[in-house]
């Protein structure tokens, strides 16, 4: 591994300042960044350790919202009774992340801001990958098992975060701190696809960090579910995941998000519009599942994700109907 500088800020403002030099990267649990650095995927000259900032590791209820500090470990979210009772989709997503060891190190902020798991990006020999400021996507004519079936644009890597899918379905907001101060952004606006910028997966600029995630009062205590399909159930990134929130019977409000099928968590807005005012009968759920994959354009070897997504949507809505 190349030599790098290590900084220990004691406040968010100090961290932001330390990140303002070229090739500085924030580290929390490090479960993603260390791999990226070891493989030499992205140039890193300074690592800014966010763990030295006090007060960013919490789960609390405030103003009807559930607020989670960015340094809250995934394992703590998975075992939180508050999250399990009031935002079950997030608890289920947290429990589905990687292994217990990784969950005990990885943080919520890191899970949202991680780099993609595309096997061409992660292959240190493929320096011409778009994500590494190159000019080619190997997935288009290569093996595309883990790649996007929706919204691919030049690059076909998918957003790998499980918590992102759940938080999208819960309509969460993300608090971001940067040189200009603090901003609150909806999860659906937080993630960006390659059509906007293929070098980034989120709107975060190099100096910005996540400080908090807020689950809105409208979603707290409502029925929600998260499901994930991966080759290995005990530890793996999702090939497809889905999260749904349903309020009312007949349905008054529904949010349905598919993950790992597109460069960003993908809200199934067509399905949501279809479900409003309906009861979740088997027939309605079947129609919704088919609608969820409408317009999918798989590559050579990821056509299975179409069926997978359809099946997961059916299962998720069936659970919420029961």
Backbone angles phi, psi at 56, to 5 degrees: -115, 15
Judged by CB, which is closer to another protein: 4, or 304?
304
Q: Are 306 and 149 in contact (CB under 8 A)?
A: yes
29 binds another protein (CB under 8 A): no
136 binds another protein (CB under 8 A): yes
Class of residue 236 by CB neighbours under 10 A (exposed 0-12, middle 13-18, buried 19+): middle
308 binds another protein (CB under 8 A): no
Among 69, 109, 194, 259, binds another protein (CB under 8 A): 194
In angstroms, give the least distance from the CB of 129 to another protein.
Answer: 12
Judged by CB, which is closer to another protein: 286, or 303?
303
Q: Find where tokens 């791999």 sit.
A: 35
Of residues 227-246, those binding another protein (CB under 8 A): none
Between the two ends of the chain, the Cα-to-Cα distance in Å is 52
Judged by CB, which is closer to another protein: 206, or 303?
303
Q: Are 154 and 198 in contact (CB under 8 A)?
A: yes
Sign of CA dihedral 102, 111, 127, 37: negative
195 binds another protein (CB under 8 A): yes
Q: Binding segment for another protein among 137-145, 203-211, 226-234, 281-289 (CB under 8 A)?
A: 137-145
Helix-strand-coil split of the chain, %, nearest 5: 30, 20, 50
Among 18, 78, 129, 137, binds another protein (CB under 8 A): 137
Distances (CA, A) of 93 to 78, 88, 98, 165, 172: 8, 8, 10, 8, 14
Judged by CB, which is closer to another protein: 296, or 317?
296
Judged by CB, which is closer to another protein: 86, or 305?
305
Those residues whose C-beta lies under 8 Å from the C-beta of residue 199, and which sit 6 or more positions away, are 130, 131, 133
In angstroms, give the least distance from the CB of 156 to another protein.
Answer: 8
Q: Strands 46-49 and 5-7, how do they pair?
A: parallel
Of residues 141-170, those binding another protein (CB under 8 A): 141, 151-156
For another protein (CB under 8 A), the number of binding residues is 21
Applying CB under 8 A, the residues found at the interface with another protein are 135-137, 140-141, 151-156, 194-195, 198, 295-300, 303
């Amino acid at each position: 591994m190349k030599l790098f500088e290590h900084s220990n800020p004691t406040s968010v403002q100090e961290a932001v300042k330390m990140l303002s030099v070229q090739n500085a990267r924030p580290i929390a649990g490090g479960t993603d960044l260390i791999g990226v650095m070891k493989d030499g995927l992205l140039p890193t000259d300074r690592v800014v350790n966010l763990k030295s900032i006090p007060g960013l590791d919490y789960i609390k209820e405030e103003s009807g919202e559930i607020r989670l500090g960015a340094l809250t470990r995934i394992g703590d979210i998975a075992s939180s009774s508050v999250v399990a009772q009031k935002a079950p989709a997030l608890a289920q997503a947290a429990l589905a992340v990687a292994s217990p060891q990784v969950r005990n190190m990885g943080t919520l902020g890191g899970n949202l801001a991680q780099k993609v798991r595309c096997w061409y990006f992660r292959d240190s020999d493929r320096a011409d990958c778009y994500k590494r400021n190159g000019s080619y996507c190997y997935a288009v004519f290569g093996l595309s098992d883990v790649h996007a079936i929706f919204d691919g644009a030049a690059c076909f890597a998918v957003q790998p975060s499980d918590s992102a899918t759940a938080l999208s379905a819960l309509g969460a907001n993300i608090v971001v701190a940067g040189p200009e101060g603090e901003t609150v952004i909806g999860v659906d606006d937080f993630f960006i696809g390659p059509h906007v910028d293929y070098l980034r997966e989120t709107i975060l600029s190099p100096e910005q960090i996540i400080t908090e995630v807020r689950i809105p009062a409208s979603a707290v205590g409502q029925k929600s579910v998260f499901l994930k399909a991966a080759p290995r159930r005990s530890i793996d990134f999702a090939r497809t995941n889905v999260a749904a929130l349903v309020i009312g019977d007949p349905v008054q409000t529904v949010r349905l998000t598919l993950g790992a099928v597109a460069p960003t968590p993908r809200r199934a807005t067509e399905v949501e519009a279809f479900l409003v005012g309906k009861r979740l009968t088997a027939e309605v759920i079947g129609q919704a599942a088919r609608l969820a994959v409408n317009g999918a354009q798989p590559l050579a070897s990821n056509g299975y994700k179409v069926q997978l997504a359809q099946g997961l949507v059916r299962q998720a809505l069936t659970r919420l109907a029961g």
